[in-house]
Amino acid sequence: MNRRDLLRFALAVPALAPFISVTVRAGAASPQDGTRAPGKRPRGPRLLMIDPGHGGHDPGAVGVHGTYEKDVVLDIAKEVTRLVGRNGGINVKLTREDDSFIDLRERMELGRRAGADLFLSIHADSAPNRKARGLSAYTLSEKASDDFAAAIAKQENFAGGLGVDVSDLDKNVAAILVDLAARHTRTAALHAKQTIVTGAGKDIQLLENPMRAANFAVLKAPDVPSLLIETGFLSNAQDEKLLRDPAARKRIAGILARELTRVMTASPFA
Ligand SMILES: [Zn+2]
């Protein structure tokens, strides 16, 4: 859901409408600008922001054979971008297209500024347990997302960034808006995680307990559903062998592209 859709969603909540309708900014969605019900308007292509982890002076994990995480995830991310973007129904952008370093907050902000419907960070990290292997996916932990929503609720520019001027709003209404946004973001991210892991698990080795949550900075966009996929562990000899193999990387990218297309073309993203 992009910011405009979020506003439309908020406008669809009858209790909020009287407060918001007078504060909609020029250029933002308006409840009076059409006869169609909210959610029934034609929507343009969805935007997927893919974030290859690490880069530049930060190699990420280094495999036992010297494989750099930053290189294999960039390769996978580019192939996913090519495959998902191929049919034209979904736009795809990359946070980095070469070996450059971007800090975590900037990666998250790139997704927000672009109005991404889904943000996916791709990694291949290491674990102290060298036997750990397989794909897993992370969303922001509930505690972290609650804390973060609470923190941003205090910043008046948050709801402003959603296209709503909160300066005239009752504090409680502004808090409800922020809560709605955060809740929708979290639900959509959880749905994406479940769909992708379940689908990918039919064709690729999964980590034990592959659906995970953690306090990752790159996942903290309050208004962009975000997840992080560990395609495998460079600390595991079998996973590293796969990730070093260009054909295997293509296969992993193909599986991710298939599942991402599935997610982006169905509710709540379509
Ligand atoms: Zn990583």
Ordered domains of the chain (ranges, CATH): 3-24+50-264 (3.40.630.40)
Using CA atoms of 127, 133, 136, 141 in order, give the dihedral in degrees to the nearest 10: -30
Q: In degrees rounded to 5, what are phi and psi of residue 234? A: -70, -10
Q: How far is the CA of 168 from the centre of ligand 1 (A)?
A: 42
Lookup result for tokens 């639900």: 187
Stretch 16-36: mean pLDDT? 38
> Which residues lie near ion ligand 1 (Cβ < 5 Å)?
53, 60, 123, 125
How many Cα neighbours within 13 Å face the side chain of 129?
7
Q: How far is the CA of 23 from the centre of ligand 1 (A)?
A: 42
pTM score, two decimals? 0.81
Please write the tens of the pLDDT for every residue from 182-224. 889 999 999 999 999 999 999 999 999 999 999 899 998 988 9
Q: How far is the CA of 180 from the centre of ligand 1 (A)?
A: 30
- CA gap 175, 115 in Å, rounded: 22
pLDDT interval class at 162 (50, 70, 90): low
Share of the chain above pLDDT 70, in %: 75
Question: Bridge-partner residues for 230, per DSSP?
Answer: 123, 136
Q: How far is the CA of 52 from the centre of ligand 1 (A)?
A: 9
- CA gap 82, 42 in Å, rounded: 25
Stretch 19-40: mean pLDDT? 38
Q: How far is the CA of 126 from the centre of ligand 1 (A)?
A: 8
Q: How far is the CA of 101 from the centre of ligand 1 (A)?
A: 13
Q: How far is the CA of 233 from the centre of ligand 1 (A)?
A: 9
Stretch 255-262: mean pLDDT? 97
Q: How far is the CA of 209 from the centre of ligand 1 (A)?
A: 18
Q: How far is the CA of 69 from the centre of ligand 1 (A)?
A: 7
